[in-house]
């Protein structure tokens, strides 16, 4: 890896690059799934390649290859410089980068059990046991179980003197059970929807999730939803479960704080942001108890947004985003930080692989927990409300301001007690009004760092993993039942 990276770097500088960096990325993935008692997919893939990013004539150029020969590596580096020169013909301004010292380091993420050392047959055996338990419930139509393992090895070299090696293992698993009845589909997922829980861990995550132990409850809830009452419409206090709140953070905080969106470079695809520059340190984003950080450091937890260095060689940081309700920070790159006068990048540049240029991506954007209290305590202190659990759908405008979310299941709360089950629960709001209505957040014992493995951005599309830590929280006077009004 190192010889090819050094060669590409030397060639780019020799061809006229004023700045250059090279990433060599070696990724292995194993994906397993079962469907109604049978294996559905068993995939094992490897990808090794090199990406060269340069600044020449004040503009960016990027090229990549998986043909790692000396001749082709030289050709790829030269192509990156040629692309930069062509881009300079239509540049609006010269690229300026916030300063960053060269770093030589090596980081290996914690992994207690290498998932690739676990035989495929053992994984499938557990998955089929979960599948059988789910289908034991009368009324279940479809049971689907999945596991996803990734090993990502990366070397980063830059003309600024950086030489950084990183190795991390990511593990994910989950299942969904579907019940079809009377032209209506209901489903329940565990531990959350859209692929389940994912973290920067080894196979130990599978053991921690206790997939088999939760299967009877999840299957029973899926079929019970057909007999449940429809979520009422109106204005109610609501409590969001931890995983649903994670997605709320992702859509209504994580995306609008991406500084490239704010500056307009994602406008043609991913959209813009309502968090324009004059709002920094001026906007009351949420109530006084709302504190949000973008924290990529390993100390924050094993999230999908955890690393030691981003793909510009900037060290992982804990960046305050909302402090006591006040909007105080963006996710930035070296270029966007310099563009708005920040002294340093927040270290948020990441690429899906060797053949993609780094973009500003969410790290672990997390709502800090309250001082104490459990979900049971929060319900007990709520007179009239609805508890929402496990995302089913979401919609938000391209500036991330007006939104509507639906969850798989809900429960009515009356006089501090969880009451009847509700189907098709939905709620809607305006981002800043919603976060300013937050009046209670559960404590650290309820806080979970969720992994979102499928966040899309950029053209060509890049799918990245992000992390979101959250404890259940309560929001006052929220519009509910908007999607299924009588």
pLDDT tens readout for residues 174-184: 999 999 999 99
pLDDT grade, residue 331 (50/70/90)? Answer: very high
For position 424, what pLDDT does the model report?
A: 97
Residue 266 or 189, more confident: 189
Q: What dihedral angle (degrees, nearest 10) is formed by the CA atoms of 135, 139, 142, 143?
A: -30
For position 440, what pLDDT does the model report?
A: 98
In this structure, are 191 and 220 located in the same domain?
A: yes
Tokens of 269: 């695809």
Please state the rounded mean pLDDT for residues 21-29. Answer: 98
SS3 64: strand
SS3 375: helix
β partners of residue 55: 19, 60
Residue 200 neighbours by CB under 8 Å, 6+ apart: 109, 110, 168, 169, 170, 302, 303, 304, 306
In this predicted model, what pLDDT tens digit does every residue of 130-143 receive, in sequence order? Answer: 999 999 999 999 99
In this predicted model, what pLDDT tens digit does every residue of 120-131 receive, in sequence order? Answer: 999 999 999 999
Question: Among 227, 247, 275, which residue terminates a domain?
Answer: 227
Prior bond of 460 cis (ω within 30°): yes
In this structure, are 210 and 297 located in the same domain?
A: no
Alpha helices in 295-421 (DSSP H): 334-339, 375-380
- Model confidence at 486: pLDDT above 90: no
For position 485, what pLDDT does the model report?
A: 55
For position 1, what pLDDT does the model report?
A: 80
For position 304, what pLDDT does the model report?
A: 98
For position 308, what pLDDT does the model report?
A: 98
Radius of gyration, CA atoms only, the chain? 24
For position 162, what pLDDT does the model report?
A: 98
Number of H helices, E strands in the chain: 10, 24
Residue 309 per-residue DSSP state: B
In this structure, are 149 and 175 located in the same domain?
A: yes
For position 269, what pLDDT does the model report?
A: 83
pLDDT grade, residue 345 (50/70/90)? Answer: very high
Q: What percent of the chain has pLDDT over 70?
A: 99
257 is in which domain, residue-wise? 230-484
In this structure, are 300 and 185 located in the same domain?
A: no
Please state the rounded mean pLDDT for residues 172-197. Answer: 96
Whole-Å CA distances, 350 to 184, 300, 362: 41, 18, 9
Instruction: Give the separation between CA 347 and CA 101, rounded to whole angstroms.
Output: 13
In this structure, are 183 and 270 located in the same domain?
A: no
Lowest average pLDDT, out of 74-83, 183-192, 475-484, goes to 475-484
β partners of residue 385: 237, 413
Question: Among 227, 243, 263, which residue terminates a domain?
Answer: 227
In this structure, are 211 and 249 located in the same domain?
A: no
In this structure, are 371 and 454 located in the same domain?
A: yes
For position 268, what pLDDT does the model report?
A: 84
For position 198, what pLDDT does the model report?
A: 98
In this structure, are 194 and 331 located in the same domain?
A: no
SS3 425: coil
Domain count for the chain = 2
> Contact at 8 Å (CB) between 431 and 252?
yes
Please state the rounded mean pLDDT for residues 179-202. Answer: 96
In this predicted model, what pLDDT tens digit does every residue of 380-409 receive, in sequence order? Answer: 999 999 999 999 999 999 999 999 999 999
Instruction: Show the beta-strand stretches assigned E in 58-214.
Output: 59-65, 104-108, 142-158, 163-181, 184-190, 197-199
Q: For the chain, what is the mean pLDDT?
A: 97
Please state the rounded mean pLDDT for residues 401-421. Answer: 97
For position 484, what pLDDT does the model report?
A: 66
pLDDT grade, residue 221 (50/70/90)? Answer: very high
> In which region does residue 307 sit, left (phi positive, over 0), alpha (psi from -120 to 50) or beta (all else)?
beta
The CATH number of the domain where 187 resides is what? 3.30.2290.10
Please state the rounded mean pLDDT for residues 309-317. Answer: 98
Instruction: Give the separation between CA 34 and CA 211, rounded to whole angstroms.
Output: 14
SS3 277: helix
In this structure, are 235 and 198 located in the same domain?
A: no
- Model confidence at 464: pLDDT above 70: yes
Q: Exposure of 122 by Cβ count < 10 A (0-12 exposed, 13-18 middle, 19+ buried)? A: exposed
- Model confidence at 482: pLDDT above 90: no
In this structure, are 274 and 318 located in the same domain?
A: yes
Question: Among 227, 249, 273, which residue terminates a domain?
Answer: 227
Residue 54: alpha-carbon gap to chain centroid:
27
Please state the rounded mean pLDDT for residues 197-211. Answer: 98
In this structure, are 207 and 322 located in the same domain?
A: no
In this structure, are 149 and 243 located in the same domain?
A: no
For position 396, what pLDDT does the model report?
A: 97
> Contact at 8 Å (CB) between 84 and 112?
no
Residue 284 per-residue DSSP state: B
């Amino acid at each position: 890896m190192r010889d090819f990276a050094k060669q590409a770097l030397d060639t780019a500088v020799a061809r006229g690059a004023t700045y250059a960096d090279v990433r060599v990325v070696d990724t292995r993935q194993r994906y397993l799934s079962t469907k109604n008692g049978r294996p559905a997919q068993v995939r094992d893939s490897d990808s090794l390649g090199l990406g060269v990013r340069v600044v020449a004539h004040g503009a960016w150029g990027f090229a990549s290859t998986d043909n790692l020969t000396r001749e082709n590596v030289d050709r790829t580096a030269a192509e990156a410089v040629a692309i930069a020169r062509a881009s300079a013909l239509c540049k609006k301004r010269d690229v300026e980068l916030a300063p960053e010292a060269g770093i030589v380091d090596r980081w290996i993420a914690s992994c207690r059990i290498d998932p690739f050392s676990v035989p495929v047959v053992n994984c499938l055996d557990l998955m089929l046991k979960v599948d059988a338990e789910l289908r034991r419930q009368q009324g279940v139509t479809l049971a689907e179980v999945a596991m996803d393992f990734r090993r990502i090895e990366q070397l980063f070299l830059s003309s600024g003197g950086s030489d950084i090696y990183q190795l991390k293992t990511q593990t994910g698993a989950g299942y969904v059970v579907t019940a079809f009845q009377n032209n209506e589909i209901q489903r329940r997922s565990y531990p959350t929807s859209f692929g389940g829980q994912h973290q920067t861990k080894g196979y130990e995550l599978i053991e921690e999730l206790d997939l088999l132990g939760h299967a009877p409850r999840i299957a029973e809830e899926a079929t019970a939803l057909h007999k449940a009452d429809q979520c009422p419409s109106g204005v109610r206090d609501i409590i969001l479960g931890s995983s649903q709140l994670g997605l709320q953070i992702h859509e209504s905080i994580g995306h609008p704080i991406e500084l490239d969106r704010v500056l307009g470079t994602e406008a043609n695809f991913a959209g813009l942001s309502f968090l324009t520059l004059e709002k920094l340190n001026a906007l009351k984003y949420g109530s006084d108890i709302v504190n949000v950080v973008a924290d990529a450091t390993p100390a924050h937890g094993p999230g999908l947004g955890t690393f030691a260095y981003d793909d510009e060689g900037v060290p992982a940081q804990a960046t305050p985003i909302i402090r006591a309700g006040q909007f105080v920070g963006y996710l930035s790159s070296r270029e966007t930080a310099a563009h708005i006068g920040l002294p340093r990048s927040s270290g948020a540049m990441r690429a899906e692989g060797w053949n993609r240029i780094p973009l500003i991506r969410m790290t672990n954007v997390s709502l800090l927990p309250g001082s104490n209290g459990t979900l049971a305590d929060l319900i007990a202190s709520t007179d009239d409300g609805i508890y929402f659990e496990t995302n089913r759908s979401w919609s938000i405008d391209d500036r991330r301001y007006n939104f509507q979310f639906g969850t798989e299941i809900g429960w009515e709360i009356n006089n501090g007690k969880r009451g009847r089950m509700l189907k098709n629960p939905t709620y809607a709001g305006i981002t800043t009004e919603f976060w300013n209505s937050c009046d209670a957040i559960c404590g650290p014992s309820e806080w979970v760092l969720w992994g979102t493995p499928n966040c899309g951005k950029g053209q060509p599309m890049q799918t990245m993993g992000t992390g979101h830590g959250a404890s259940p929280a309560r929001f006052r006077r929220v519009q509910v039942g908007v999607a299924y009004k009588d």
